[in-house]
Chains A and B, each alone.
Chain A
Amino acid sequence: MAAAARFFIRGANSRLSISGFGTGAQSCFGAALLRLSPGCSSRTKTQRRHASHFTYQPDPVPTQYGPTQKMNLFQSVTSALDNTLASDPTAVIFGEDVAFGGVFRCTVGLRDKYGKDRVFNTPLCEQGIVGFGIGVAVAGATAIAEIQFADYIYPAFDQIVNEAAKYRYRSGNLFDCGNLTIRAPWGCVGHGSLYHSQSPEAFFAHCPGIKVVIPRGPVQAKGLLLSCISDKNPCIFFEPKILYRAAVEQVPVEPYTIPLSQAEVLQEGSDVTLVAWGTQIHVMREVANMAQEKLGVSCEVIDLQTILPWDTETVCKSVVKTGRLLISHEAPITGGFAAEISSTVQEECFLNLEAPISRVCGYDTPFPHIFEPFYIPDKWKCLEAIKRMINY
Chain B
Amino acid sequence: CGTMLTNISNVLRACAQRNVSALYTTVCEILDFILLQKCDTHKLDEAPATEVVMTREEGLQYYRTMQTMRRMELKADQLYKQKIIRGFCHLYDGQEACAVGIEASINLSDHLITAYRAHGYTYTRGGTVKEIMAELTGRRGGIAKGKGGSMHMYCKNFYGGNGIVGAQVPLGAGVALACKHQGRNELCVCLYGDGAANQGQIFETYNMAALWKLPVIFVCENNRYGMGTSVERAAASTDYYKRGEFIPGLRVDGMDVLCVREATRFAAEHCRSGKGPILMELQTYRYHGHSMSDPGVSYRTREEIQEVRSKSDPISMLKDRMLSNNMASVEELKEIDVEVRKEIEDAAQFATTDPEPPLEELCNHIFYNNPPLDVRGTHPWSKLKSVS
Contacts and interface: CB of A to CB of B under 8 A. Distances in A.
A125 B198 contact: yes
A341 to B, nearest CB: 15
B168 to A, nearest CB: 13
B378 to A, nearest CB: 4
Interface stretch (A62-70, A163-171, A271-279, A359-367): A359-367
B149 A369 contact: yes
A191 B319 CA distance: 39
Contacts of B234: 121, 123-124
B384 interface: yes
B84 to A, nearest CB: 7
Q: Please tell me the size bucket of the interface on A.
A: 35 or more
Contact of B366 (A26, A364, A377): A364
A21 B358 CA distance: 7
B356 A370 contact: yes
A61 B87 CA distance: 34
A124 B166 contact: yes
B378 A368 contact: no
Contacts of B164: 151-152, 154, 195
Interface string B143-179: 0001111011000000000011110000000000000
A384 B381 CA distance: 11
B87 A191 contact: yes
A87 interface: no
Q: Please tell me the size bucket of the interface on B.
A: 35 or more
A196 interface: yes
Contacts of B299: 100
Contacts of B235: 123
A206 interface: no
A369 B138 contact: yes
A136 B254 CA distance: 40
B200 A128 contact: yes
B357 interface: yes
Nearest to B299: A100
Nearest to B382: A7
B13 interface: no
B359 A371 contact: yes
A193 interface: yes
Interface of B: 83-84, 86-88, 138, 146-149, 151-152, 163-166, 195-196, 198-201, 226-229, 233-235, 298-299, 355-363, 366, 375-382, 384, 386
Given A46-B83, A195-B163, A334-B376, 8 more contacts: A103-B227, A123-B229, A124-B226, A151-B164, A152-B165, A193-B88, A374-B362, A375-B362
